[in-house]
Amino acid sequence: EAGVAQSPRYKIIEKRQSVAFWCNPISGHATLYWYQRILGQGPKLLIQFQNNGVVDDSQLPKDRFSAERLKGVDSTLKIQPAKLEDSAVYLCASSPSDGSYGYTFGSGTRLTVV
Amino acid sequence: GEDVEQSLFLSVREGDSSVINCTYTDSSSTYLYWYKQEPGAGLQLLTYIFSNMDMKQDQRLTVLLNKKDKHLSLRIADTQTGDSAIYFCAETASAGKSTFGDGTTLTVKP
């Protein structure tokens, strides 16, 4: 089966600019996650969708970050305006149901804010 | 909140066994996982263990869980240079949300 697709692979922007990331999960996977991985740290959950509804967005900085999952399939994560500390790899993952048996991750988008 | 801790680095010689350790704080964890990230690649699920199990073996990989001490370990037998990667421990307590450790970088020397 095709894996989790993410784009772009790399993005460099100036602070205060906006940026968007796209994720296409494995077909049929109900649950989609966005994680942020800062260099030297483990992935931190930003938001979890079940189909097209939000399950958990408690760690999403809602003043600058937004995410949506249209029709319960693709998802976009947006940052506006970006700060230097947003430099990280943004990982999308999906799972068939509640994630009990682990996730399938995409390759991630490496964001550099200068 | 939930916390998962791992040592940052481990170096072994090719052919030796590697043991990567992890501790977690959430006593309601139901599943625990090991993910592997090779250079330039995404995280890949290696194996998982349900919290009512003590051990799980899969070819060269052995996972041990001590639920009383909230300690998880991953043993890789006959470690090869291709095993060099970052290994992440993770746990799930509720609603499928996983908390990850910061990763252990395994270096295998020939």
A99: pLDDT strictly greater than 90: no
Residue A1 confidence (pLDDT)? 63
Q: What is the DSSP letter of B82?
A: G
β-pairing, B18-24 with B71-76? antiparallel
B16: pLDDT strictly greater than 80: yes
β-pairing, B98-100 with B71-76? unpaired
**What does the buried/exposed string (b/e) look like for A57-86 if buried means 16 or more CB atoms within 10 Å of the residue's CB?**
beebeeeebbbebeeeeebebebeebeeeb
CB pair distance less than 8 Å for A106 and B42: yes
Residues of B within 8 A of A45 (CB-CB) are: 97-99
Cβ within 8 Å of residue B68, ≥6 positions away? none
**What does the buried/exposed string (b/e) look like for A34-45 if buried means 16 or more CB atoms within 10 Å of the residue's CB?**
bbbbeeeebbeb
Q: What is the mean pLDDT of the segment spanning B75-84? A: 97
Q: What is the mean pLDDT of the segment spanning B54-67? A: 96
B92 in contact with chain A, both atoms CB, cutoff 8 A: yes
B88: pLDDT strictly greater than 90: yes
Q: End-to-end alpha-carbon separation of chain A, Å?
A: 37
Q: What is the mean pLDDT of the segment spanning B69-76? A: 96
For residues B45 and A26, what is the distance between their CA atoms, to the nearest angstrom?
Answer: 15
Give, for A76, the enclosing helix (H) or strand (E).
Answer: strand A75-79
Find the residue in B nearest to A90 (Cα): B42
A113: pLDDT strictly greater than 90: yes
For residues A56 and A3, what is the distance between their CA atoms, to the nearest angstrom?
Answer: 23
CA distance B95 to chain A (A): 6
CB pair distance less than 8 Å for A105 and B44: yes
For residues A38 and B80, what is the distance between their CA atoms, to the nearest angstrom?
Answer: 28
Find the residue in B nearest to A39 (Cα): B102
CA distance A107 to chain B (A): 4
Quote the tokens at residue A17: 């600019």
A10 in contact with chain B, both atoms CB, cutoff 8 A: no
Residue B1 confidence (pLDDT)? 60
For A92, B47, B71, the CA distances from B64, given in Å and listed in that order, are 28, 11, 8
Q: What is the mean pLDDT of the segment spanning A78-97? A: 96
